[in-house]
Amino acid sequence: MNINFLQWDSDFFNKKIGDITVEKQEIVSDTEDYDLIVVKQLSDFEIDITGFTLSFEETKVNFIKKLDDKSLQDYETIKDTDDREKDADFFKELAYESGKKSRFLLDEKFGEAKFRELYDIWVINSLNKKFALKTFYTEEAGKAIGFVTLQKYNDLGKIGLIATHPDFQGKGFGKKLLQKAENFCLKNGITHLEIPTQKENIQACSFYKKQGYDIKDEIIIKHYWRK
């Protein structure tokens, strides 16, 4: 089985990292000099990778929603960085909040410092349009309390980062941010909106279901580190 070398990940973490998609139970032996092999499975079963040990696993869930005119709501409190420019530092704490269930944080072999650096880069590249078409946010007393980033792939929209500050959760800001993104999609030829999260993030999964999103697919992701 050929392992797909992940150049960016390897450069960033200073580790040789690759991934494979496994469809049946088998032994993986041709691992060259990889430090980490990320295994993706559509169903859960055991695999053996010679010389490696399983250190972390999660289930990634992709939610999707077909948008309609019922989603057409706008909120003056939700702002657009294209109209009111903000720098990356304004959003970094929210970015860390959005990644609190991320495998890059929960797998301790990466380290929290690299997790924060990774999400710093994500914010920067969202604001400069490399990772996102739009960034919407809301603030109070000059402090960011919620934001969402959106990318477009033809008629499909995808949420990259979304978070509400812990002090303001449960007050409807997440719903307003999501509806702002849906509103933009409907006005710009995007018919479906997709949101990834972790199955283990019960709060997020429940929220998306309440907003009319259905599960598109689930992928089990496992980290095998060299012993």
- Domains annotated for the chain, with CATH where assigned, are 4-59 (no CATH), 62-217 (3.40.630.30)
Number of other residues whose CB lies within 10 A of the CB of residue 160: 20
Residue 72 confidence (pLDDT) = 65
pLDDT digits over 34-57, tens only?
999 999 999 999 888 989 999 999
Give this prediction's pTM. Answer: 0.92
Tokens of 24: 């049946």
pLDDT at 71 over 70: no
* pLDDT per position as a tens digit, 20-30: 999 887 767 77
The contacts of residue 146 (CB under 8 Å, 6+ apart) are: 94, 137, 138, 163, 164, 165, 168, 173, 174, 176, 177
Closest to 213 measured CA to CA, from 191, 186, 195: 195
Q: Scanning the structure block, which residue is given the tokens 């914010």? A: 123
How is residue 194 written in tokens? 């997709």
pLDDT digits (tens, 9 = 90+) for 120-134: 999 999 999 999 999
